[in-house]
Amino acid sequence: MSRLVRAEWTKLFTTKVWLGLLLGACVMVAGFAVFFTAFAGNPEAGIPAVGTPLYEDLALSTAANANILFLILGIIGMTQEYRHRTATPTFLTAPQRGRVVTAKVIAYALVAALFALAVVAVNYLVVAVHAGALGAAPALDGDNVTTLASSLLALTIYAVIGVGLGALMRNQVGAIVGGLVYLFVVEPIIRSVPATAGAYKWMPGGAMEALTATLAGPELLGAWQGALVLLGYGLVAAVLGTFLAVRRDVA
């Protein structure tokens, strides 16, 4: 298994997709952090003032917004095998295809954890510098470290969900577009419609919100429950994908 995991890392780091996604995530998170800090204390924006615990909680969890890029990282990791037809040599090397999917889940979880560490570090540094300039840099105390760690965990799990979704769909463009539509259209609707809002806490977005919750919203699970639900989505997708899609004929 360690051979297959290392092979996945070689695949990932011998093209430049990872660099684009990592830089994109860092820039995106830095942008969000600057935005939140700039509007902190503005009564019309509804963002609490710099120096309050609620502001720090909010500004230090902007990293979680990069979840879509981590989802895409996982999706590409799985679907590139079909897009570029390297599934043939990959499955010739490892005829038990479940082992390939398992190796990808492990490889991408570990890489995503590393990338997420960079993203939350950027998140903290930008907030520390910007809020510091405004008079109150957040300390790396227990609460704030927990906030950052929650984002790190959420981003890591989203990469696993990406691998699972990619295994289910096999089609790269379809999986990415489906993921975007789901996260930015379907879930916001479920979240805001009263009839369905109760189910939102069980959805991936609701589970992530439970893990990294900040703004007021519908009822959510506890943080650790959210993490488990989120991870469950990723692993269930990977297992279903293995049996329903990946084991199909590679013609």
Partner 1 sequence: MRVEVRGLTKSFGQVRAVSDLGFTVEPGSVTGFLGPNGAGKTTTLRMMLGLVRPDAGGATFDGVPYAALPQPVRTVGAVLETAFHPARSGRNHLRVYCRAAGLPVSRADDVLAQVGLADAGRRKAGGYSLGMRQRLALATALLGDPAVLVLDEPANGLDPEGIQWLRGFIRHLAHDQGRTVLVSSHLLSEVEQTVDRVVIVGAGRLVREASMDQLRSGADGAGTVLVRSPEAARLAEVLRGTGSGEVSVDGDALTVQGRTPAEVGSRAFAAGVELHELRAHTSGLEEIYFRLTAGQEQFAAATTDQESAR
- Residues of this chain that bind partner 1 (CB under 8 A): 3-4, 6-7, 10-11, 14-17, 80, 84-86, 88-96, 249-251
- Closest contact distance (angstroms) between CB of 37 and partner 1 is 37
Nearest CB to partner 1, comparing residues 171 and 214: 171
Q: What angle in degrees, to the nearest 10, is found between the helix axes of 223-241 and 142-169?
A: 20
107: Cα within 13 Å, side-chain hemisphere: 25
Helix and strand totals (H; E) in the chain: 12, 0
Question: C-beta of 87: minimal distance to partner 1 in Å?
Answer: 8
C-beta closer to partner 1: residue 81 or 209: 81
Q: Do residues 67 and 208 lie in contact, with contact meaning Cβ atoms separated by under 8 Å?
A: yes
The smaller minimum CB distance to partner 1, of residues 1 and 45, is found at 1
Q: Closer CB to partner 1, residue 85 or residue 114?
A: 85
Nearer to partner 1 among residue 202 and residue 243 (C-beta): 243
Contacts 24+ apart (CB under 8 A), 19-28: 21/69, 21/70, 21/72, 21/73, 21/115, 22/115, 22/118, 22/119, 24/69, 25/66, 25/69, 25/70, 25/115, 25/119, 25/155, 26/118, 26/119, 26/122, 28/65, 28/66, 28/69
Q: From CA 45, how far away is CA 42, in angstroms rounded?
A: 5
Least distance between partner 1 and beta carbon 16 (Å):
7
Nearer to partner 1, 9 or 35 (CB): 9
Nearer to partner 1, 4 or 30 (CB): 4
The least CB distance from residue 22 to partner 1, in Å, is: 16
Full 3-state SS string of 24-71: HHHHHHHHHHHHHHHCCCCCCCCCCCCCCHHHHHHHCCHHHHHHHHHH
CB of 102 to partner 1, least distance (A): 13
